[in-house]
Structure 1
Amino acid sequence: MFSSVLFSFTHAATFEIVNQCSYTVWAGAVPGGGQQLNQGQSWTINVNPGTTQARIWPRTNCNFDGNGQGKCETGDCGGLLQCQGYGSPPNTLAEYALNQFNNMDFLDISLVDGFNVPMDFSPTTGGCRGIRCSADINGQCPTELKAPGGCNNPCTVFKTDEYCCNSWTCGPTTYSKFFKDRCPDAYSYPKDDPTSTFTCPSGTNYKVVFCP
């Protein structure tokens, strides 16, 4: 009993989420919930070792009542301030899985659900490299992918196998290259693993910055 408790304290990862945008961002996190972050504010969550399929994302133009119910223009998670599920596109994603193969954490920035806010996702310990997507994707977004407050991934718009990669045959497209040219570290389509997945030693702590 004691050793397992000690292990969880030793290897839980801390994620500091910082809003450097000139506007308010409502952070969403699974696990974690959600938090309104005005310019310069931060929010820290602690995540258990072994957590997989986790993500942190920015939500914009939100309105919540005193019960934490409302809506966001981008990244909305079922109308809740405290997210229990993932956000709706378009939203820039910081994705991670902790303490996986060879005791490594796996992390990425994904544009597979589109883009709404520039992001940096970096270790604060562990001696491994961070990743960033800080281009003006909203300003340069192709007309057919434009969405209120963001830039959609083509899968969201066209829903075809070519863009959604429901089979194993898909590859880069003109649209995925638009994202990749601007954010080389980020996932631009679902099968973009070789250039878009990064690792850090288990036990690393992280910082996610909106508008780095």
Structure 2
Amino acid sequence: MATIFVFTNRCPETIYPGVQTNPNRPAFPTTGFALPPGPDAAFPGVPAGWSGRIWGRYRCATDASGSFGCASGDCATGRVECNGAGNQAPSTLAEFTLNGQGGRDFYDISNVDGFNVPIQILPYGGQSCATVTCAANINAACPPELAARAAGGATVGCRSACGAFNTDEFCCRGEFGSPDSYYLGSGFTIMYR
């Protein structure tokens, strides 16, 4: 049974969603498209078992040579379609697995590759799943050392510390590859029964 994905752009400029299907999974109906503000774009034929990532690319244009590119979230194909290429950080990721373990759908929003645009995942049509949102404009509060900037200097994304500095400490690898390697003082406590 196919799933319907509906995209709505509430940003003041055109966003170009990029789509990457995970290996050995059925393909999403597109790998990239233009999504102007306002009207929805619907893809009713997303196959059962699809799994992959969707992210927003913005501040996009076609240059004089005809090559398409984006200041944020580009997939570096030179075209609107990503054709299997992944996102270039920083970009906010919506991650999906349809008809996964136990026949259930799984989804989340990840900032592991940084942040570029707010994303919301809203199940509809009788789904009892929760809405997830990364609605804050992280770009506005991004520290200068993490900011990704467009040619004119505007912040178009906020890199993760791992992406910006590529050190074991920030990338949770090497001697920092286990939870035991961090001391955060008192931290916080979660109690449950």
Fold shared by both chains (TM-score > 0.5): yes
Report the count of equivalent residues. 163
The aligned residue for residue 178 of structure 2 is 169
Q: Kindly tell me: are residues 104 and 110 of structure 1, through their superposed partners in 2, closer, same or farther at Cα, counting changes over 3 Å?
A: same
Contact persistence 1:35–1:43 (CA under 8 A):
no
The aligned residue for residue 17 of structure 2 is 27
Q: Distance in 2 between matches of 1:61 and 1:158?
A: 25
Map of 1:1-12 to 2, 5 A cutoff? 11-12=1-2
Structure 1: which amino acid aligns with 2:161? Answer: P
Structure 2: which amino acid aligns with 1:103? Answer: G
Q: Kindly tell me: are residues 34 and 67 of structure 1, through their superposed partners in 2, closer, same or farther at Cα, counting changes over 3 Å?
A: farther
SS of the residue corresponding to residue 60 of structure 1 reads strand
Deviation at 1:41, TM superposition (A): 2.8
SS of the residue corresponding to residue 94 of structure 2 reads strand
The aligned residue for residue 205 of structure 1 is none
Structure 2: which amino acid aligns with 1:57? Answer: W
Residues 27-36 or 11-20, more deviating = 27-36
TM-score (norm 2): 0.76
Residues 147-156 or 26-35, more deviating = 26-35
Deviation at 1:114, TM superposition (A): 0.8
Deviation at 1:59, TM superposition (A): 0.5
Moved over 6 A (4+): 65-68, 171-174
1:24-62 per-residue CA deviation (whole Å, 9 max, x = no partner) reads 11111223211111211322223211122x111111111
Quick one: percent identity of the two aligned structures?
A: 39
Deviation at 1:66, TM superposition (A): 11
Structure 1: which amino acid aligns with 2:178? Answer: T
The aligned residue for residue 202 of structure 1 is none
- Pick the structure with greater CA Rg: 2
Q: Which has the higher strand share?
A: 1
Q: Which has the higher helix share?
A: 1
Could you say which structure has the greater relative contact order, defined with CA pairs below 8 angstroms and 6 or more residues apart?
1
Contact persistence 1:68–1:81 (CA under 8 A):
no
Q: Kindly tell me: are residues 162 and 36 of structure 1, through their superposed partners in 2, closer, same or farther at Cα, counting changes over 3 Å?
A: same
